[in-house]
Structure 1
Amino acid sequence: MQFFKVKTVEETFALIEEKIPKIREVLVCNLEEALHCILAEPVVAAEDVPGFDRSTVDGYAVFSKDTYGSSESMPGFLNVAGEVKMGEEASIPLSRGNAIYVPTGGMLPPGSDSVLMIEHCEEIGGLLNTYKQIAPGENVIRAGEDIQAGEVLLEVGTKLRPQEIGALASLGISKVSVFRPIKAAYLSTGDEIVPYDTETLEIGQIRDINYLTVSGLAREWGVEVIYGGITTDDYEIFSAKARELYEQADILILSGGSSVGAKDYTTEVIQSLGDPGVFVHGISIKPGKPTILAVAEGKPVIGLPGHPASAMIIFRLFGEKVIKQLQGERLERKPERILARITKNIASAPGRSDYIRVRLVEKDGEWWADPIIGKSGLITTLVKSDGIVEIVSEKEGISQGEYVPVLASK
């Protein structure tokens, strides 16, 4: 048999990138409907975010120099010269020796360079006692510090997660150009397979749970799934049903019948759908060796093993990559939850759990978590991150090279 010459996992991934075409049909959709869609055009910022210098805490806008030497035992003193209300312009400049109250997100008065948190000061009769010295720029986000006008914020092929949607909304963008969402058709095969809701099984029958697990994964990835039901091990019936589903969808998924048994017609059926046909028939992997990947007249076809565990593992490994390639998403193999090594020392206050945004980088065959340093109010730290590292409250930080658990972003 010319088929069933197994490929390695690495060869299979390379063949998917080489063989699977990309859908190039573009549509414009409203931002609130764009979740999980794939960008078809780069997004260039037309304005700065934020558009003005603002405070990240409730506190008092000050000149940082005016707080130098302040402590609990020897506080400094400043005159309270007013307040900035939320949503209003701060038009009165701050002068040395004075402080102006600013709420979180409020505009910084002209001239001020930092904000002293209310926890570190106390106003008494128009006089502000300062109990901590702060540095220039502390508790402040400058205009354009998050996003700068002219910056390419998102590249073509970016999947729009909630954080990307938020970044686009911050720029006032209400519509985006995306690649058309894809449809997948699913068909189970085998004389022994019966609907999953069958109450009483006859001897030898197996409930069709693969439909629920495989289609559930596809839906998690933003793919609409058409269920074709169950077909028997009859070539004519199987072929006709596969052709019907193939013509309704962008990708056809078949479960069962991918081994070399006499009644396994999956390869023949896939070949009948169109050229160039099968390019992988068997992968050097356990479980899941009898896996088929093909392209028929520009449409991917996946033949999954019938065993439920194998089908789910194979579809998560290779089906997701096929779907991402098809819908034009940038291909990056990054796991959902892993142990990675931290690239630098990170301090943490004992008694508090800290969550650090990180970028995952593969070096020398292992994952490294590179912290994204930025103020908590910056939207782009979410966009740039691949996941989050938790520093538990019992620890006082983590050291460079230490292994840490990373919860990766979808």
Structure 2
Amino acid sequence: MQFFKVKTVEETFALIQEHIPEIREVETRTLEEALHCILAEPIVAAENVPGFDRSTVDGYAVFAKDTYGSSESMPGFLTVAGEVEMGKEAGAPLSRGEAIYVPTGGMVPPGSDSVLMIEHCEEIGGLLNTYRQVAPGENIIRAGEDIKEGEVLLEAGTKLRPQEIGALASLGISKVNVYRKIKAAYLSTGDEIVPYETESLKVGQVRDINYLTVAGLAKGWGVETIYGGITADDYDIFAAKARELYEQADILILSGGSSVGAKDYTTEVIQSLGEPGVFVHGISIKPGKPTILAVANGKPVIGLPGHPASAMIIFRLFGEKIIKQRQGERHGKKPERLFARSTKNIPSAPGRSDYIRVRLFEKEGEWWADPIIGKSGLITTLVKSDGIVEIQSEKEGILQGELVPVIASK
């Protein structure tokens, strides 16, 4: 067969980078509507955050020098000169030898250079007994220390998570220009596949769970999904349904029929959708070798293996990369990886990247990864797993106790 020329994981990522085009349509959204969207332009701060020096604790604004040498056994003494009310401007500047009460988040009086926590002092009859010394700048956030006027807060291509939304709100920004959200259409193939709601299975039938798992991942990445149902192993029916979904979406995902069996029409159907067509058919990876990646007239098409475990792992690795690139994300979070020690020796074939499902647990301050033994098509191995150990193609396995990278489950 002219296809099924296996690529390495590294080659596959490079080809995705080369072939997948971005969505460039821009729309304006309110912050409430912009969660998980991708910024189409950089955000430059028009003001300082905070806009004034503020206290991070309940305490007394002081000059740090006035507290030097203070201790429980030999306290210092300062004159209490008033207090700052929350949400109001501080009054007169602080003078040496004085202290002014400031609540958490309150404005620090001009002149003071630190705040002494209320737990470390005691006011008695207008005098403040100081039981601890503070350093200049202690317990104060200076104006512009969080966000400085004129700085680029967020680059174009940044995915707006809750923390980015909060930062924008702190600047008084209520609307942002973002790339429009992408849609992914999903279609399951196979004579043996039936809707997951089917209560009683006939011999040889399998419930379609891949849509729920794959779509669940896509939704978590901010993608709207369209379910195209299940199509039989008939070229004309398959091609017609794939074309219909292709026209509705920005990415087409096909599950099943990606290998080289006599009734696997996925490659032919994908080639019929448009040029240039398939650029990956087969990846040197376990599980998930019979994976197809293509671009048809600018739209990515993903052919996933039919096994649920393989489909999830492949989509987690390559589907996320395709989606991020398609929606213009260039400054997003790196894949969530942690390092853990393997509880067992894990063999691996050289020249192939292996992804082994593991259970994570903590022992004596370290993470440990316990391999979950089971065939690649078993669904329960996914349920029991907390992540996937990555064994790169140049390795021949890992040893018990070896520190290994783990892609954490989301």
TM-score, structure 2 as length reference: 0.83
Provide the C-alpha distance between the structure 2 equivalents of 1:28 and 1:305, rounded to a whole number of angstroms.
38
**Number of matched pairs:** 351
Provide the C-alpha distance between the structure 2 equivalents of 1:6 and 1:407, rounded to a whole number of angstroms.
23
Q: Which residue of 1 aligns with 2:146?
A: 146
Do the aligned partners of 2:159 and 2:331 also contact (CA within 8 Å) in 1? Answer: no
Provide the C-alpha distance between the structure 2 equivalents of 1:322 and 1:234, rounded to a whole number of angstroms.
28
TM-superposition CA deviations, 1:102-131 (whole Å, max 9, x none): 001100101000000001011111111101
Structure 1 residues 179-194: aligned runs within 5 Å: 179-194=179-194
| SS of structure 1 residue aligned to 2:39 | coil
Tell me how large the CA RMSD over aligned residues is: 2.1
Which AA in structure 2 matches 1:291? T
How far the C-alpha of 1:325 sits from its partner, in A, is 0.4
Which AA in structure 2 matches 1:136? P
How far the C-alpha of 1:33 sits from its partner, in A, is 1.0
Q: Which residue of 2 aligns with 1:170?
A: 170
Residue 263 of structure 1 pairs with residue 263 of structure 2: yes
Provide the C-alpha distance between the structure 2 equivalents of 1:140 and 1:126, rounded to a whole number of angstroms.
24
Do the aligned partners of 2:159 and 2:332 also contact (CA within 8 Å) in 1? Answer: no
Do the aligned partners of 1:324 and 1:331 also contact (CA within 8 Å) in 2? Answer: no
Q: Which residue of 1 aligns with 2:103?
A: 103
Provide the C-alpha distance between the structure 2 equivalents of 1:155 and 1:409, rounded to a whole number of angstroms.
27
How far the C-alpha of 1:336 sits from its partner, in A, is 2.2
Q: Which residue of 1 aligns with 2:29?
A: 29
How far the C-alpha of 1:335 sits from its partner, in A, is 3.2
Structure 1 residues 345-356: aligned runs within 5 Å: none
Q: Which residue of 2 aligns with 1:129?
A: 129
Residue 210 of structure 1 pairs with residue 230 of structure 2: no
Q: 1:37 to 1:242 in 2, by over 3 A?
A: same
| SS of structure 1 residue aligned to 2:100 | strand
How far the C-alpha of 1:331 sits from its partner, in A, is 6.3
Provide the C-alpha distance between the structure 2 equivalents of 1:188 and 1:296, rounded to a whole number of angstroms.
19
Q: Which residue of 2 aligns with 1:355?
A: none
Do the aligned partners of 2:158 and 2:332 also contact (CA within 8 Å) in 1? Answer: no
Q: 1:110 to 1:332 in 2, by over 3 A?
A: closer
Q: 1:332 to 1:54 in 2, by over 3 A?
A: closer
Q: Which residue of 2 aligns with 1:82?
A: 82
How far the C-alpha of 1:2 sits from its partner, in A, is 1.0
Q: 1:257 to 1:168 in 2, by over 3 A?
A: same
Provide the C-alpha distance between the structure 1 equivalents of 2:282 and 2:219, rounded to a whole number of angstroms.
26
Structure 1 residues 9-408: aligned runs within 5 Å: 9-330=9-330, 334-339=334-339
How far the C-alpha of 1:404 sits from its partner, in A, is 12
| SS of structure 1 residue aligned to 2:36 | coil
Do the aligned partners of 1:67 and 1:134 also contact (CA within 8 Å) in 2? Answer: yes
Provide the C-alpha distance between the structure 2 equivalents of 1:107 and 1:283, rounded to a whole number of angstroms.
59
Provide the C-alpha distance between the structure 2 equivalents of 1:5 and 1:76, rounded to a whole number of angstroms.
79
Provide the C-alpha distance between the structure 1 equivalents of 2:18 and 2:285, rounded to a whole number of angstroms.
20
How far the C-alpha of 1:339 sits from its partner, in A, is 2.3
Which AA in structure 2 matches 1:64? A
Provide the C-alpha distance between the structure 2 equivalents of 1:276 and 1:173, rounded to a whole number of angstroms.
42
How far the C-alpha of 1:408 sits from its partner, in A, is 8.6
Provide the C-alpha distance between the structure 1 equivalents of 2:227 and 2:75, rounded to a whole number of angstroms.
71
The gaps in structure 1 that reach 5 residues or longer are 341-390, 393-402
Q: Which residue of 2 aligns with 1:353?
A: none
Which AA in structure 2 matches 1:280? V
Q: Which residue of 1 aligns with 2:393?
A: none
Provide the C-alpha distance between the structure 2 equivalents of 1:406 and 1:292, rounded to a whole number of angstroms.
25
Q: Which runs of 4+ in 1 moved over 3 A?
A: 403-410
TM-score, structure 1 as length reference: 0.83
| SS of structure 2 residue aligned to 1:247 | helix
The gaps in structure 2 that reach 5 residues or longer are 341-363, 366-402
Provide the C-alpha distance between the structure 1 equivalents of 2:74 and 2:336, rounded to a whole number of angstroms.
50
Q: Which residue of 2 aligns with 1:398?
A: none
Provide the C-alpha distance between the structure 1 equivalents of 2:147 and 2:404, rounded to a whole number of angstroms.
30
TM-superposition CA deviations, 1:284-331 (whole Å, max 9, x none): 000000000000010000000000000000000000000000000016
Provide the C-alpha distance between the structure 1 equivalents of 2:156 and 2:335, rounded to a whole number of angstroms.
22
Provide the C-alpha distance between the structure 2 equivalents of 1:166 and 1:239, rounded to a whole number of angstroms.
45
Q: 1:405 to 1:138 in 2, by over 3 A?
A: farther
Structure 1 vs Structure 2: percent identity of aligned residues?
Answer: 85
Which AA in structure 1 matches 2:178? V
Q: Which residue of 2 aligns with 1:2?
A: 2
Which AA in structure 2 matches 1:157? G
Which AA in structure 2 matches 1:172? G
